């Protein structure tokens, strides 16, 4: 546990670090997303001996290192002081919100930040769900007797982007699908403006400020102010005295130019919306309300693109985009503390799993048991069998992801079912069960139906769980490589069909009815053809679909001709 000995006052000297600590918390220094961000931030981050990122800041003339948890704790401490001053009472408990795709280590690090600040964290909840609670109470949907309402929460903040599609019916909040982007928000729009003005300064003054942290910090602050102003007027100016080497900087930017710099990012915001609708099996006409959450939803072009996507539907702006998440968290805190009114106490939340869960089968095929965006808790069962004769054990690698080839997904863990009685391939029946509880704990078990022999694994996702960025990459890769995945599935299917036909034929000709009705010469030809097919399979496991199909036709042709000859 970290000890925060500097207090909230440092926040005024490290505002940029404070704003970006959310992108560092719970991550390793070598995390690809951290490495990407380091190139853009105007402050220094170094690794500690445990490969954790440490933010370097100047405090009272000395260089200090702070863990992201410490910076977050300073923010929470300041918030705690403000709340206590207003209430006139000590504040001990809190509900803290996180982005929908925060993994277990990020959530635990957030809990640690709460503990450092002296708070007892009652629960960590996701931001879109908290916003949905605020919306439900604002619209008095908890008393609604007119049936269910489909609501899309569009949460575009400073550093992250969340989309959630929920069905709200009375006090039930049922999350149907989630989506988003781990690196899309106001900071990214600021980055585009900063790069634009760095080049403008270079053209005008023949000086490059890209390597000067202080100049970049001052420019970034000015760009952020300009971005906010452009949400209400069409043009603003940036004026910074002695920005670099005594040179003043003055420039103007219009709203159309700002939109041009960021148009690809604005359009990128629509992709998770489409994804959510697909996953929830809804069309855009089924959505009754689109709720704007997060400061970046004030950007007119973002609102326009979203409204155009929903064919001109009016966007819900009745709740404060800056306060909605905190409001929902406060309601959740009241529920957990038992102090809420009856409306709040009746609220029930149903969440979903963001990635498909399954296990690897023959040919590295991902057998999905729990599809992405399935409501949790959930329990799904399926069956499998052995792949070869006299197989006495089966290895079950458990994966999460959207690719058809299991090895392209993320391995969560593996276990082995042993003690299967020797039998011909495909005879044993193994029952496989995936049980995902409300806390995100996945229990996977496999049981031999004949003997009752059982093996299992419990995966808590506290290690190796994907970040939100990796999840989005997997989903995007699944679309990009959909054709490749389909071809792989066809190839595996053709290979397994040839294997099944070959082994079944081998067993068939051993029966007395067949062997007694064939001449020894014909029997020899069939046995040779089977042996040839088996040897070909052993040496061509990576063959193409048409090769497996051609070999199948060749074997079928020989056996059918001899069988017809036998009948004649």
Segment 332-379, tens digit of pLDDT:
888 887 776 666 666 767 778 777 899 999 889 999 999 988 888 899
Residue 12: count of CB within 10 angstroms of its CB: 9
Any bridge partners for residue 155, and if so which?
162, 293
Residue 513: the pLDDT is 65
- Region 270-287: what's the mean pLDDT? 93
**Which fold is adopted by the domain 357-480?**
Substrate Binding Domain Of DNAk; Chain A, domain 1 (2.60.34)
Which residues does 562 contact at the CB level (< 8 Å), separation at least 6?
518, 522, 525, 526
**Which fold is adopted by the domain 125-184+269-340?**
Nucleotidyltransferase; domain 5 (3.30.420)
- Region 175-186: what's the mean pLDDT? 84
Q: Which two tokens stand for residue 231?
A: 């949400």
Q: Which two tokens stand for residue 258?
A: 């700002």
Any bridge partners for residue 121, and if so which?
94
Per-residue confidence band for 16, with pLDDT thresholds at 50, 70 and 90? low
Residue 446: the pLDDT is 94
- Per the model's pLDDT, the better-predicted residue between 106 and 221 turns out to be 221
- Region 14-26: what's the mean pLDDT? 70
- Contacts by residues 49-55 (CB-CB < 8 Å, ≥ 24 positions apart): 52/28, 53/24, 53/27, 53/28, 53/29, 55/14, 55/17, 55/21, 55/24
**CA-closest candidate to residue 6, choices 51, 62, 52, 53:** 62
- Two domains, one topology: 186-264 and 357-480: no
Three-class SS state of 382: strand
Residue 141: the pLDDT is 59
Residue 482: the pLDDT is 55
- Region 45-69: what's the mean pLDDT? 82
Residue 485: the pLDDT is 61
| Distance from C-alpha of 70 to C-alpha of 59, rounded to nearest angstrom | 14
Residue-wise pLDDT tens digits, 284-320: 999 999 999 999 999 999 999 999 999 999 999 888 8
Q: Tell me how far the alpha carbon of residue 561 is from its chain's centroid.
A: 55
Three-class SS state of 468: helix
- 10 pLDDT exceeds 60? no
- 564 pLDDT exceeds 60? no
Q: Is the peptide bond before 377 cis (omega within 30 degrees of 0)?
A: yes
CATH number of the 8-124 domain: 3.30.420.40
- Per the model's pLDDT, the better-predicted residue between 182 and 209 turns out to be 209
- Per the model's pLDDT, the better-predicted residue between 486 and 303 turns out to be 303
**CA-closest candidate to residue 348, choices 95, 167, 179:** 167
Per-residue confidence band for 26, with pLDDT thresholds at 50, 70 and 90? confident
- 6 pLDDT exceeds 50? no
Per-residue confidence band for 524, with pLDDT thresholds at 50, 70 and 90? confident
Percentage of residues in the chain having pLDDT higher than 70: 85
| Distance from C-alpha of 380 to C-alpha of 564, rounded to nearest angstrom | 46
Question: What does pLDDT average to over the chain?
Answer: 83
Q: Tell me how far the alpha carbon of residue 117 is from its chain's centroid.
A: 29
- 18 pLDDT exceeds 70? no
Q: 264-279 burial, b for 16+ CB within 10 Å, e for fewer?
A: ebbeebbbbbebbbeb
The domains of the chain are located at 8-124, 125-184+269-340, 186-264, 357-480, 482-567
| Distance from C-alpha of 486 to C-alpha of 494, rounded to nearest angstrom | 12
Per-residue confidence band for 147, with pLDDT thresholds at 50, 70 and 90? confident
- 462 pLDDT exceeds 60? no
CATH number of the 482-567 domain: 1.20.1270.10
Residue-wise pLDDT tens digits, 351-363: 787 778 999 998 8
Into which CATH architecture does domain 186-264 fall? Alpha-Beta Complex (3.90)
Q: Is-contact 222 189, C-beta < 8 A?
A: no
| Distance from C-alpha of 524 to C-alpha of 506, rounded to nearest angstrom | 12
| Distance from C-alpha of 14 to C-alpha of 190, rounded to nearest angstrom | 18
Classify residue 24 by its DSSP letter: T
| Distance from C-alpha of 95 to C-alpha of 134, rounded to nearest angstrom | 14
Give this prediction's pTM: 0.66
Percentage of residues in the chain having pLDDT higher than 90: 38
Per-residue confidence band for 434, with pLDDT thresholds at 50, 70 and 90? very high
Residue 24: count of CB within 10 angstroms of its CB: 28
Q: Rounded to 5 degrees, what angle do the CA atoms 53, 56, 58 make?
A: 165
Residue 202: the pLDDT is 94
């Amino acid at each position: 546990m970290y000890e925060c000995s500097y207090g909230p006052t440092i926040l005024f000297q490290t505002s940029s670090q404070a704003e970006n600590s959310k992108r560092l918390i719970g991550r390793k220094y070598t995390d690809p997303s951290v490495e990407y961000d380091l190139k853009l931030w105007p402050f220094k981050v170094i690794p500690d001996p445990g490969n954790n990122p440490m933010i370097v800041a100047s405090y009272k003339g000395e260089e200090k290192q702070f863990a992201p948890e410490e910076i977050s704790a300073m923010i929470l401490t300041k918030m705690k002081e403000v709340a206590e001053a207003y209430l006139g009472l000590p504040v001990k408990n809190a509900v803290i919100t996180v982005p929908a795709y925060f993994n277990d280590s990020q959530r635990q690090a957030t809990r640690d930040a709460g503990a450092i600040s002296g708070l007892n964290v009652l629960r960590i909840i996701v931001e879109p769900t908290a916003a949905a609670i605020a919306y439900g109470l604002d619209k008095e949907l908890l008393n609604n007797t007119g049936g269910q309402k489909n609501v899309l929460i569009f949460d575009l903040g400073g550093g992250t982007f969340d989309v959630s599609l929920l069905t709200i019916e009375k006090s039930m909040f049922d999350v149907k699908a989630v989506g988003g982007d781990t690196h899309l928000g106001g900071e990214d729009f600021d980055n585009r403006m900063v790069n634009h003005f760095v080049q403008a300064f270079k053209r005008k003054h023949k000086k490059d400020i890209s390597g000067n942290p202080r100049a970049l910090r001052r420019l970034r602050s000015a760009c952020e102010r300009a971005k906010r102003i452009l949400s209400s007027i069409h043009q603003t100016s940036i004026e910074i005295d002695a920005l670099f080497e005594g040179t003043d900087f003055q420039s103007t930017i219009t709203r159309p130019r700002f939109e041009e710099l960021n148009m690809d990012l604005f359009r990128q915001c629509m992709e998770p919306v489409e994804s959510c609708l697909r996953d929830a099996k809804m069309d855009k006409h089924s959505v009754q309300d689109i709720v704007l959450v997060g400061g970046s939803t004030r950007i007119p072009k973002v609102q326009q693109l979203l409204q155009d996507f929903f064919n001109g539907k009016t966007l819900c702006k009745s709740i404060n985009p800056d306060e909605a998440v905190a409001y929902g968290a406060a309601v959740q805190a009241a529920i957990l503390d038992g102090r809420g009114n009856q409306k709040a106490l009746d609220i029930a939340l149903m969440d979903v799993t963001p990635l498909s869960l399954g296990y690897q089968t023959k040919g590295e095929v991902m057998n999905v048991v729990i599809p992405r965006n399935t409501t949790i808790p959930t329990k799904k069962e399926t069956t499998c069998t052995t792949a070869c004769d006299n197989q006495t054990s089966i290895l079950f690698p458990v994966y999460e992801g959207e690719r058809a080839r299991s090895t392209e997904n993320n391995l969560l863990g593996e276990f082995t079912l042993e003690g299967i009685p020797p039998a011909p391939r495909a005879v044993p029946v193994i029952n496989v069960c995936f049980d995902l509880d409300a806390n995100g704990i996945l229990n996977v078990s496999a049981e031999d139906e004949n003997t009752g022999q059982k093996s299992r694994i419990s995966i808590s996702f506290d290690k190796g769980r994907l970040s939100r960025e990796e999840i989005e990459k997997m989903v995007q890769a699944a679309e990009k490589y959909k054709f490749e995945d389909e071809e792989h599935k066809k190839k595996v299917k053709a290979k397994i069909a040839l294997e099944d036909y070959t082994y079944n034929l081998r067993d068939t000709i051993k029966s007395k009815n067949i062997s007694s009705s064939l001449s020894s010469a014909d029997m020899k030809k069939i046995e040779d053809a089977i042996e040839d097919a088996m040897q070909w399979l052993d040496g061509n496991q990576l063959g193409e679909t048409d090769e497996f199909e051609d070999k199948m036709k060749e074997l079928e042709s020989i056996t059918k001709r001899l069988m017809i000859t036998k009948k004649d």
